[in-house]
Structure 1
Amino acid sequence: MKELSRAATRRTRTPLSTPVVILALATTTACAPDATSVPVVTELLPYASSAAPLSATFGIALVSEETACVINSYESRIHCVNRSDGGVAVFGRVGEGPGEFEGLSSIERGPDGQVVAIDIGAARMTYFQLDGTVVSETPLPPLFQPSQLRGGRLFGVKVGLPDFASGETQPTYVPMVIDASSGEVLWERTDLPGAVGRECFSGAVGTSTPAGGLVFEACGNELAFLADRDAPSAIVAASPNYVETLPNDRDVGEQMELITGVGRYGGMPDSAIAARVAEFRAKPKDWILKRDAFGFDHRDRLWVATTHDHDAYSYFDVWTDTVYAGAARVRDRLMSFDIFGSTLVTLAERTPGADGIGELAIDWYDLGEVADVP
């Protein structure tokens, strides 16, 4: 297994190459625990690590190659750390005024080293300097869930709530782009399911590409690529690295917390909560890590966070355009990630201690010597 550290990258180029060259992909269609059928992949080793606060909302934004920001949901604050000098900036609080949050849900990299807070509760995004100074605010459309800020445009999906009275059971998702300064809707597309052509396609998990196209989770381990956001059809490709696995103990524990919180808020009895957890435990888990699925590096390669293992290690599928380029492994349980230039940062949950709590940390990786496909 190849290893990349900051020292090693000065001496050698470690390719994410074709499966024939370096990737011996062990796959199986049988449902098995995560510990089996682990593929041979390119291993990335962090050259730095930084402490991060505990949080129930996971998000990370690399605002420069030296500074990363994360969310502290328990205090409704943004926590930024400089990896070189260890300097930390903390700002924000619960409230309705400027620089305050009603429902801080995610953060993005803004222009000129700014960090952008997405506040779903207040339906707005706020641009901050790293000392906490508010630069500007932008209103968000109702039921809009942002996923990517690039330049002056914010990509996301508009959620359509199901009409239970008419028999609808699932929400709908319409991809949308808004002006990041005004909140004006610049583009949306309602016929994306027809272009993808998969009955199980929902459109909930996707992003725009640097070239102006789209990429979405299709079904299972499939991705749907559109060369242009208005393209009439998509190329659907499956990850050859896919391994069907059952949820591990940490997956089950995380889901149990979610179901218990929602269930008790809605008056669900303990027996119903237990049944939901048992159902989750017995079902093979989704391949793509939906809460933070996609990122692009300095060569415009697509990095897709997967749920493979997702315990001691976490894995990415890497794509060049619509061609599978290989897999990469990082340490610990990936909760969120961001890429800026050739720097990858992961918000990782360490192995839980005796109290059952896994500390959060920011790991820094150098992608500069992870070569293109020959």
Structure 2
Amino acid sequence: METYTRWSFHFFALIEVGVLGLPLLGQGRLPHAVWLFLLVCGHALFAALVASRALDWTRGLRPQPLRLMWALGAVSALLAGTLLALVDRGVGGDDTATALGTLFVGLLGFGGGSITLGIRSRRRVLGLVLGFSTGTGLVLFALDDPVVAALAMALATLFAMGFFTFTSVFSVWLLNAVYELDAARETRARLAVAEERLRFGRDMHDVMGRNLAVIALKSELAVQLARRGRAEAVDQMIEVQRIAQESQREVRDVVRGYREADLGAELAGAHGVLTAAGIACEVSGESAAAGLPGEVQSALGWVVRETTTNVLRHGDAGLCVVGLRVAEGQVVLTVENNGASGATGSGGGSGLAGLRERLAAVEGTLEAGPVGDGVFRVVAEVPLTSVAHEVAS
């Protein structure tokens, strides 16, 4: 979007030269046509420079180009005044007066549009447009032009500057909106990852909080009983040992539930997390996950989890499609996203290498890479016959 905006305003310089400058060379009766053409070219280049610096300021890359903006305004007004003087003197006759009038309006339009790229206040933008338009009418009236002609030129200036100014203001607004949406999307993705971490933290707290409190109380009781020489202190410590062992088992269960992913839950979780991050997600084949062996669900669940995480962290996807199917004695999981920069392999052990190791445990394979048009595809295949044979043995 930023590249499109910048080149659009750079292209305006060519439009200014083509629409306003080249016709001057065809005016045979217009004196100094070549010099006027060169002035138009210089004005177009100056306006393009101001537009580029103003867009840099909009993106926070440079300070506001106030001096260049004032200089462009002064140059535009000076050139416009020169043209009015030529028209007032009747240089070239009535035919050239129309061309000079068009050039006058065009110069103010292109110049004012470039200047407003560097103005954030809408009131100042409106003041700039009305100021140039009103000044045009007053100058023409002071040169003893008819009131109707002065008013028509002022309205033409108002229309031209209003059009280019609206284009500039809308372009800046749209560019800022795109950047804000992109920042909001990244924030949503980080929040989704943080929410998953908090969920795991809450599970650990629920498991350990109560048991640690009981261990602390029973240990204190055992200390008091031991100081009194009571035999029950041994029983309390045995109970503490039992609770500690039970806590270890429960922690392993929590971690196992987190690491050995349930495929159905991971598919539903991927849809929820990606949707919350502003990425359209399509999931198919959830019903096929229920009948798969636990080892296959765990391995493929990790594929879903890792690819989803990498789409959130490393990609710029707008759509992610997840498909699960069972055919010809094997289960195939496909994950596609249109953010080709989100390569799943950028995570070391938890990236492609880690996923291949997990799939190798169930004799599965993994293929990943771009497939054209900015699409990145991950395909995991696991044969069900070998898994069934291992379970039976």
Structure label with greater radius of gyration: 2
Larger helix percent: 2
Larger strand percent: 1
Higher relative contact order, structure no. (Cα contacts within 8 Å, ≥ 6 residues apart): 1
Same-fold call, TM > 0.5? no
TM-score, normalised with respect to structure 1 = 0.20
TM-score, normalised with respect to structure 2 = 0.19
